[in-house]
Chains A and B, each alone.
Chain A
Amino acid sequence: MNVSDDQPPPPPGRSWRSIRQEVKPLAMSRKGRRRQLAAWAKVGALSLFAAGTGWGVYAVAHSWSTDRAALATAVHSELVRDVVLITDGVLTRDWAAGVLALPRPASLMALNLPALRDRLLAHGQVRVAVLTRNFPDTLVVTLQERTPVARVQAADGSGSPRQLLVAKDGVVYDGLNYDKTMLAGLPWLDGIRLVKSGDGFEPVAGMADVSALLSTAQLQAPHLYREWLVVSLARLAERDEIVVKAQDLPEIIFSRKRDFFKQVAQLDYVIDAAHGLEAAPVLQSVNLTLEGQVPVRLQGAPDTLAAAPAAPAFSLQPSQRKPKREF
C-alpha cells in the first residue's frame, strides 16, 4: 500500500484495550465477589491507615510546635540568667522576680509565658504585663502599672484596718513601693461598699468620674486639692453628685454632669470671694451642681437662712472681680 502524504489516513480500528473489563457483581462468581470485597476492604484499610498516618504526622508536628521542652531542645536555648524589668511605675525587679518565682534551673524556652503573665496580672497594681524571651538567656518583663487616685480603708482577715489604693479604673489593690508622701496626699474614698472577689475586691464603680475630678483639681487648683480629705460617692449613683470634704470646708458638692474644670473654677472663686468679705464668713457647704449660681451655707447661720433670699448666693460674674488664679 502506498499512501500519499496529503491523504488523511482512515480511522484505525479499536484495540482490545478499549474493551470495558469491569464485570457487574451479579456476573461474578462467589470467589470473584469475595476478592472484590477483600479488595475494597484493603482499600478501606489503606485509607484508614493513610488517614491515621496523616493524623499522627499532624499530631507530632503540632506537639513539636507547641511542646516547650521540645522547642527548647530544638533551639538549644540556655538557662535563664537574668530577668529584666521595664516599667512605667514603681515596682522593682526584685518584686517581679519574686512574683515570677522561676524554677532553677529554668530553660528560657521551657518557660510558660502565659502562666507567668497571669501571675503578674494577679497583682492589681499591674495593668499590662508583657514577657519576652531575649535570647539566649534573658527574660524581659515589661509592665504598665496602675496609678492610685484615692485611698480606701478596709478590714483585713483579722479585722484590723488596712489601707488600699483605688485606681482610675476602679481596681482596688495593695500599693507597693509608692512614695509615702504621695500616698498621704491622696483623698480617702467614702460612701462605697467594697465587695470581695477572690483575693481582692470588685472594682469600684464611678471611679472614672472621681479620677477626672481629682486630676482636674490636682492640675488646675492644687491649693484646693491639697485640702481635700474625703471624697464620698454615696450620692453618685442616685444624684450624680460627688461630695468632697476639705480641711476647712465640710461639704463641696460636685456634679458629674457638669464640666469639672468649670466647677473647680467656681469653687475657687467662691472661696476667694468668701475670704474677701469683711465678715469673713466660714463656709460650711458649697453646692456646685447648679448652672448659673452656687448656693453656699455659712457656719453659724440657721439652716433656713441658706434658703432665704437674703442668704449669700454668689452670682457668677467673674469679670466684675479679678480672679486670683488664671484657669
Chain B
Amino acid sequence: MIEPILTGLLVGSIHSGTPLLYATLSEVMSERAGIVNLGLEGIMLMGAVVGFATTALTGNAGLGVLAAALAGGLFNLFFGFLVITRRANQLASGLAMMFCGVGLSALLGVSFVGSKIKGLDEIRIPYLSDLPFAGPMFFNYDILVYLAGPIAVLIWWMLFSTRWGLTLRAVGENPSAAFAAGKNPYFVQYQALFIAGMLGGMAGAHLSIALAKTWQEWMTAGRGFIAVALVIFSKWHPLRAVFGSLLFGGAIALQLQMQAWGVPISPFLLDMLPYLLSLGVLAVWGGARRFEAPGSLGRVFQGTE
C-alpha cells in the first residue's frame, strides 16, 4: 500500500520539479551576473506557447523544445536591452516583460487552445527500466527530465570552473572591478541573459509539451516567481537548485496526489502549498542568506564615465 504512494509522489516530484529546475537555473544564471529577472514568468510562457505551437505544427516535439529555448533566449535579450543598454530599473522591467509575455503568449496561442499533441516521448532506458522498484521510479521519463540534472552540473561547471564563469560572477559582484580588469560587463550580462532565457524557455516547454500536453493562457501559474524564491533557497548555487526544485516539485506532486486520493481538503487550499512553502522558506532562510547574494544584484552598472 505504502509503496505505490511513495512511488507516485517521487515520480510526481521529479515531473513537477523539472520545469522548476530549468526556471531556477535560468534565474541563477542571470542573478549571478547581477540581474534580477522577474520576467521569468513571461519567458516561461513564451517558451510554453512557442514550443507547443512548433510541436503542433511540425509534429516534432524535439523541434518544439529547441524553438522554445530560442524564443526564450531572444525574448530575454530584449529584457537585456532595457536593463543593460538602457539601464532601466530591473524590477519594473521584469514586470513589464511578464505583462508582455502574458499578452504575447495569449495572442500567439489563441489558435492552439484545445489542440492536442503527442508531446515528448517517455524514454524507457533498456534493462534499467525493468528493475522491480527503481525501474518505474527513475528510468521512465522524457528527455528534458533526464537532461535537467546534467544541465545543472554543466551550469555549475560553467559558472565555477571556467574563465567565462569567473568573469560572469565578477560582473555580478562588482562590475566596475570587472571592467577595470579589462572585461566588458555588458557583453557578459547579455550572454548570461541569453542562456537564462533559453533555460526559461525550456522550463515553459516542459510544462506545455511534456506535462500538460495542451496550451492554456497563463499556464505557468506563478512558477516563475516560485523559481525566484527557489534561487534564494538554493543560495544562488546550481546544484542546490536541484534539491530545492525536487522539494518544491514534491509540494506540487503532494497536492495533486491528495486530490487524486480524494483527501477531503479543498483543492484550492492544497494549491496554496507551493506558494506558502516558498514564503516560509524565504522567511526562515531569506534574512540570513541575503549576504550570500551576488554583491551588485539588482544594481545598475552606470558605466565608467
User: Do these two chains really belong together in a complex?
Assistant: no
- Point out residues on B near A: beta carbons under 8 Å: none
